[in-house]
Structure formats: structure tokens, C-alpha cells
Amino acid sequence: MRLLEERILSEGKNLGNGILKVDGFINHQVDPILMDACGRELARRFKDIGATKILTAEISGIAPALTTGMHLRLPVVYARKHKPVTMPDQVFLTLTPSHTKGRIVELIVSPEYLSGGERVLIIDDFLASGATILGLARLAQTAGAEVVGIGTLIEKTFEGGREALSRLNVPIEALARIRSMDNDHIIFEEDPVETAG
């Protein structure tokens, strides 16, 4: 998606160790107009998969999941990383390594909002190693729900997340796919849809 790629080129910063800083429009300050455009595009790509619910992880997944949910008219559940007092005692919980935090985090969903028979579209800001998304998929499967698609704003293809997710056997979409970002020179994968057009 050209709009997102241009923004990454103009404002994204490679902090080293595989970390791309996009705090100016996604992760700390959010551009709602850009986020709405991203949600519209993700909704377009997933309009035919019959999803009944969107699942994401707090914190940075909330914005793209919300705008995708607006355009698909689907409820959005965000997995919590700390169990709030409003949650029942029995929850779905899984552990996942956080690259940016350098430790294991919990992903927690209440059974009230994720149940058998749901068709779950997972949305997140980044697809890197795929660990967070695999954690969300485990939560969905534990609930008896079926994962039917995975969408992210940015994919770092050099971290192998897409391969790690391949056993889920669902369509995976990323709006900006970064092949390399050495020396602050960000190179995107060629988009097969755009090159065909």
C-alpha cells in the first residue's frame, strides 16, 4: 500500500536490532486518517473470508484492528497483557516472547468474548517473527474458534514470520512488506498486485 510505504520511508527509523520505529504515526502518535485508510484496505482484502470477529493484542494492534473492524462491521477483541479486575477468574491465557520488551508477556482473553464457532481475523501492527500472532491463534483455537485470516500493517519479511504462520494455512496480508532496512535504507518487497496492474 503506497500511502503506508511512503510514510515509512519519510518517518520510519531503523533503531538497529531489527526494530523499526514508527512512533510518529502508529505506535505512540497515531495518524487516524492513515489508520482509517489502512483499515479500509485490510477490510477490502478480507471481505470474502466470512470473519465474525477481529482479534488483536494490546497495545499497538488496537488502532488498525479498530479501523478494520469499522469497515468490516465486526466486533474487535484485544487480548490483554495484564488481567484487569473486570475479567472473570477463568480466562484463556497464553505466553509469548516480546521482541521489543525482551521478555515473555501474557496474552489474556475472556471466554465471554471468544467462543466456539467464531471465525477470527487476526490483525496486528507488525508481523516480524510471528510470535504474537501465533499466540493469538492459540487463544482462538483454545476457545474453539477458527482463525480465517491474518492481516498486519507492516511485515518484516526477513524475520520469517510468514513461514512460522504457514501451518495455520490461512491468507496473510501485510500492507507494507519490508525486505531489508540496513543502514537506514528501507527496501520493500515488490507487491505482486501492484506490479501486475
Residues at the site binding its own copies, with contacts judged by CB under 8 A: 15, 19, 21, 23-24, 27-33, 35-36, 58-59, 62-63, 66-67, 69-70, 73-78, 80, 82, 84-87, 100-102, 109-110, 112-113
Whichever of 32 and 50 has its CB closer to its own copies, that residue is: 32
Closest CB to its own copies among residues 56, 165:
56
- Minimum Å gap between C-beta 43 and its own copies is 11
Q: How far is the CB of 12 from its own copies (least distance, A)?
A: 11
Q: How far is the CB of 8 from its own copies (least distance, A)?
A: 14
Question: d(Cα 70, Cα 99) in Å, to the nearest integer?
Answer: 29
Joined grid coordinates for residue 175:
500492507
Q: Smallest gap, in angstroms, from Cβ of residue 80 to its own copies?
A: 7
Q: How far is the CB of 192 from its own copies (least distance, A)?
A: 30
d(CA 162, CA 29) in angstroms, rounded, equals 27
Nearer to its own copies, 118 or 173 (CB): 118
Q: Do the Cβ atoms of 41 and 193 come closer than 8 Å? A: no
Nearer to its own copies, 12 or 130 (CB): 12
* DSSP category for residue 139: H
**Which CB sits closer to its own copies, 28 or 179?**
28
The secondary structure element, H or E, covering residue 179 is strand 172-180
For the record, the C-alpha cell of 26 comes out as 502508529
Distances (CA, A) of 175 to 7, 35, 193: 12, 11, 11
Q: Which DSSP state fits 80?
A: B
Inter-CA distances, 160 with 28, 37, 108, 127, 157, Å: 26, 26, 25, 9, 6
